[in-house]
């Protein structure tokens, strides 16, 4: 029984690390708070794809008294429950890797921000330029300004066998 408790604690700890990392990427003032408009991007970056209605419900649950800001203390437990309950299905790592590899026609192991922006703002369920700028700030290698997708995939997904 102790082993299963320890493994459950390790899973929760791993989930908390991923949520914190995604949240902190948008905590520009380092005060454990993000603008409510960033929450969709944070949730997507965690590999979850809620409907707009689900997203609004989650925001209503965690937003600080309609101030337009969300504090990590409220977001962390709510998002942990979402991830552990598989509430908004994530994309398996192998499918995410395949998607990146389709975009990486030259098999370089990375995408340039301009390439990714083109695909994400013109194909499928499109992102705005502002959303892309925010994502690239969080995802691109700060020194080389490239998106190394293989390194990124484990950060963007949660193990479905949890």
Architecture of domain 93-156: Orthogonal Bundle (1.10)
Q: Write down the pLDDT at residue 155.
A: 66
Domain parsing of the chain, residue ranges: 1-85, 93-156
Report d(CA 22, CA 135) in Å as an integer. Answer: 10
pLDDT of residue 120 exceeding 90, the answer is no
Transcribe 98-135 into DSSP letters.
Answer: HHHHHH-TT--S-B-HHHHHHHHHHSSSPPPHHHHHHH
Structure tokens of 99? 């998607």
Asked if residue 151 has pLDDT above 50, the reply is: yes
Nearest to 152 by CA among 133, 132, 136: 136
Q: Categorize the per-residue pLDDT at 162 as very low, low, confident or very high, splitting at 50, 70 and 90.
A: very low
pLDDT of residue 1: 47
Question: Residue 153: pLDDT above 90?
Answer: no
User: Tens digit of pLDDT for each residue in 46-58?
Assistant: 878 888 889 999 9
160: pLDDT strictly greater than 60: no
Q: Does CATH place domain 1-85 in 1.10.238.10?
A: yes
CB contact at 8 A, 128 and 121: yes
Q: To the nearest whole percent, how much of the chain has pLDDT over 90?
A: 46
- Model pTM greater than 0.85? no
């Amino acid at each position: 029984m102790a082993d299963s408790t320890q493994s459950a604690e390790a899973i929760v700890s791993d989930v908390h690390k991923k949520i914190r990392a995604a949240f902190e990427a948008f905590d520009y003032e380092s005060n454990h708070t993000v603008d409510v408009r960033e929450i969709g991007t944070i949730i997507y970056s965690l590999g979850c794809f809620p409907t707009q209605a689900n997203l609004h419900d989650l925001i209503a649950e965690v937003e600080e008294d309609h101030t337009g800001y969300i504090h990590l203390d409220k977001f962390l437990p709510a998002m942990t429950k979402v991830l552990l309950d598989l509430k908004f299905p994530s994309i398996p790592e192998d499918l995410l890797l395949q998607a990146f590899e389709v975009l990486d026609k030259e098999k370089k192991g990375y995408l340039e921000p301009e390439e990714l922006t083109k695909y994400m703002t013109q194909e499928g369920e499109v992102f705005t330029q502002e959303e892309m700028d925010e994502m690239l700030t969080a995802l691109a290698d700060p020194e080389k300004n490239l998106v190394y997708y293989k390194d990124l995939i484990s950060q963007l997904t949660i193990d479905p066998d949890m």
